[in-house]
Amino acid sequence: MSEFGIPPYVDGRTGDKNLSKVVNRALLLDLLRARSGASRASLAKESGLTKVTVSSQVAELIALGIVKETGAGASDLGRKPVMLEIDGAAGYALGVSIATDRLHAVTMDAAGATVRDEDCPLPDASPESVVGAIASVVRAAKKKYRQSRFGLFGVGIAVPGAVERETGRVVRSAKLDWSDVPLKKAVARHFDGILRVGNDATLATIAERELYAPGADDFVCLLIDEGIGSGAYINGAIHYGHNGQFGEVGHMTIVHGGPRCPCGNEGCWDLYGSELALRQALGAARSGPVPDAAEAIALAGARPAWAEGSFRDFVDYLTTGVVSVVNSMAPTTLAINSAILAASPAMFEALKAAVADRAMSHVSACELRLSSLGKAAPAVGACMAAAERFFEGLVLRGGD
């Protein structure tokens, strides 16, 4: 469950008196969050801890207000268990993803249920406007959830660009035309809880894995829209490269000696396999205007004859990139978040078949999946990242 490979409550820590308590609490919280329908006895069985240990931990979690008893459960024989669950109403996390013209804001309760999903228009994409809009969403949520035990405990922000992990500084966002924006610092003046700022593809990957391959150690997620973004769990941990922007797989060369890309490299996959590239190809194919995103999606569903070549090329370019990713990283699951592919099951099937044909046989066990989270993925992932940190804090509390 943890987004981190080495759980932060273990990493770099000496084996002091609290270590086992902390490890066990994390284990129990993970079990409680993963399945509903747990009791003290079932937790003991699944965790390998004794009933006594579980009871004492559960008592503390209930006292903290994060776990609640929900009455008697079913049993074939013997005393009925007292069912336990994370108390969703204990607190809330807000996830915001930034686009050029709007914010997408998702709210989740402590149990992980989405309780709100809204779009806020932005006057412009300047850092000031964005920070202002985030501040107002945060303010509203803070007020709304003031009554609950932990209130609005965390905010996650998904940025389409490179983010320095430690400081939450946006190093560079081509989409927003930002350079060196201290986003976290700016938002922190309006919110003093858990605040996480990350790359949108990275955060989307957190959400997609939770949905499609919870617990998978090696999981890659591709986001295909204007450009091609990606994120990856490797060895069970989400991978942040430099500046939290792992996975510029869009800027692998697929055409050696090809045209220069704005990124500085040549013949990048992004120039051939992105939605933007497809739209430009469609425009050229009909010798007319370049379709916008909505029209391209409609065309992908309709598949008019004149567009066939463009779509076939698109799948072909996607195949080349996906095979490169599969061969070089050997994930067990690869999720693709693409509105175009979502609109055309046939195209996705063609891609799957082509990848299976070309990928190295011993790694082709990799499962290709189409994401269904769509545009919401980064905001949902931002929520999850904030919640993750919240639970990490709970683990340390009372144990440190």
What is the rounded distance in angstroms from the CA atom of residue 42 to the CA atom of residue 48? 10
287 touches, from DNA, its own copies, none (C-beta below 5 to 8 Å by class): none
Long-range contacts of 128-134 (CB under 8 A, 24+ apart): 130/98, 130/103, 130/176, 130/183, 131/183, 131/186, 131/187, 131/190, 133/103, 134/96, 134/103, 134/187, 134/190
Closer to its own copies by CB, 73 or 236: give it: 236
The answer to whether 229 touches 200, Cβ cutoff 8 Å, is yes
Site residues for DNA, 290-349, by CB under 7 A, read none
CA dihedral 155, 133, 98, 382 (to 10 degrees): 10
Instruction: Give the x-and-dash track for 7-36 against its own copies (CB under 8 A).
Output: x--x--xxxxx-xxxxxx--x---------
Length of the chain: 400
Site residues for its own copies, 163-222, by CB under 8 A, read 171-172, 218
3-state secondary structure 100-151: CCEEEEEEEECCCCEEEEEEEECCCCCHHHHHHHHHHHHHHHHHHCCCCCCC
Q: Based on the shown chain and the rule CB under 7 A, indicate whether residue 399 belongs to the binding site for DNA.
A: yes
Which two three-digit tokens encode residue 25? 């609490």
Shortest gap between Cβ of 328 and its own copies (angstroms)?
4
Shortest gap between Cβ of 56 and its own copies (angstroms)?
13
Site residues for DNA, 82-121, by CB under 7 A, read 82
Determine which residue in the list 1, 82, 252, 396 makes contact with its own copies, applying CB under 8 A: 252
Which two three-digit tokens encode residue 370? 């189409």
Stretches 112-120, 132-140, 326-334, 380-388: which one binds its own copies (CB under 8 A)? 326-334
Instruction: Give the x-and-dash track for 49-88 against its own copies (CB under 8 A).
Output: x---------------------------------------
Q: Based on the shown chain and the rule CB under 8 A, indicate whether residue 125 belongs to the binding site for its own copies.
A: no
In degrees, to the nearest 5, what angle opens at C-alpha 31 toward C-alphas 28 and 32?
Answer: 85
Q: Based on the shown chain and the rule CB under 8 A, indicate whether residue 393 belongs to the binding site for its own copies.
A: no
Site residues for DNA, 50-79, by CB under 7 A, read 50-53, 55-59, 72, 75-79
Number of residues interacting with DNA: please give it, by CB under 7 A.
33
Closer to its own copies by CB, 95 or 399: give it: 399
254 touches, from its own copies, DNA, none (C-beta below 5 to 8 Å by class): its own copies
The burial of 96, by beta-carbon neighbours within 10 Å (0-12 exposed, 13-18 middle, 19 or more buried), is given as buried
The answer to whether 292 touches 279, Cβ cutoff 8 Å, is yes
Q: Which residues bind DNA (CB under 7 A)?
A: 14-18, 20-21, 24-25, 39-42, 49-53, 55-59, 72, 75-82, 399
